[in-house]
Amino acid sequence: METLEQTKARAEAAVPGAQLSVVKNDSPSAQHSLLVDVEHAYAVAKFLRDDPQLRLDYCSNVTGVDFLDAELSEKVKVKKVVDGVEKEVEEVKKTKRAGYLEAVYHLYSMSLKHGPVILRQRTPGRADLVKVTSLTPLWRSCEFQEREVFDLYGVLFDGHPDLRRILMWDGFKDYPMRKDYVEPDDYEYEPTPHDEVLEKAKAHQAAQEVKA
């Protein structure tokens, strides 16, 4: 099987305007992935499926990943004049990274028996800009899995035929797999509360007293 760089070059040639980049994976598994922009995701995925060398006819796994807003620190060498002498000094440069959601697709080929090629789509933000392109029209196996990503992460899949909640009930409001999800306060009376439960109980008891 060709390397991911070769696949990327051929996909770029086949789909004009597609912005692709390789996301490196430093773990021993060495499963690098291909990040594709949302506008061209469908065309690139179609290329990967129909290309005679790749024929990735089987989309095995679809999932979401949540990345919160983060402050990344990077060590940068800066030239500075210290006591009249120019010196190279290491400084920590801090950059803010806006949070985003990802949809990850693991593609294999059943006919050529190779894989995986990992495709990622990234949303611009986490709050309202959460749209990516649905690949269900290409692989039917995405149908339930994209619904699950929508259900648990709140990623909207453009072009999905039936985007409803799948595991949580229809009236549920939040997205439970997000990293900043707060569990509902299911308070139950306990005769001898302690630690966290005591803290929780105090709030509820205060509310009770106000009512009374």
Partner 1 sequence: MTAPVDTSDPKQLGADTDGTQFMTFHDLAYDAGKTVFQRKAQPVGQGREGELLEVAMGPQHPSTHGVFRMDVVLDGETVVKLKPVFGYLHRNHEKIAENTSYLGSMPYTDRLDYFCSLTNNWAYALSVEKLAGLQVPERAEYIRLITAELTRVLNHTCLAGFLLQDMGALGTPLMYAFREREKILDLIESLTGARMMCNYMRFGGCRCDLPAGWLDEAKKVVAEYPKFLDEFDALLSGNEILMARTQGVGKLSAELAISAGITGPMLRASGVDYDLRKVDNYGLYSRYPFRVPLGSHGDVYDRYMIRMLEMRESLKILEPALKDIPEGPVVDPKAKLRGFRPKPGEAYGRIESPKGELGFYLISDGSPNPYRYRVRPPSLINLTILEDMCLGQTVADAIVTLGSVDIVLGEVDR
Judged by the rule CB under 8 A, the positions of this chain that interact with partner 1 are: 25-29, 31, 57-61, 63, 65, 104, 106, 110, 113, 116, 118, 139-141, 143-145, 152, 166-169, 176-177, 181
Residue 159 or 176: the one with the smaller Cβ distance to partner 1 is 176
CB of 2 to partner 1, least distance (A): 18
- CA 80 vs CA 73, 77, 91: distances in Å: 20, 9, 10
For residues 118-153, one letter each, b for 16 or more C-beta atoms within 10 angstroms of the residue's C-beta and e for the rest, the string is: bbbbbbeebeeebebbbbbebbebbbebbbbbbbbb
Residue 14 or 67: the one with the smaller Cβ distance to partner 1 is 67
Residue 169 or 189: the one with the smaller Cβ distance to partner 1 is 169
Residue 65 or 201: the one with the smaller Cβ distance to partner 1 is 65
Residue 18 or 121: the one with the smaller Cβ distance to partner 1 is 121
CA atoms within 13 A on the CB side of 180: 10
Tell me the two tokens of residue 24.
């490196």
CA 115, CA 159: separation in Å to the nearest integer?
26
CB of 156 closer than 8 Å to CB of 150 = yes
Residue 70 or 89: the one with the smaller Cβ distance to partner 1 is 70
CB of 136 to partner 1, least distance (A): 10
Largest CA distance in the chain: 74
CA 36, CA 81: separation in Å to the nearest integer?
43
C-alpha distance across the termini of the chain, in Å: 72
CB of 169 to partner 1, least distance (A): 7
CA atoms within 13 A on the CB side of 126: 20
CB of 80 to partner 1, least distance (A): 31
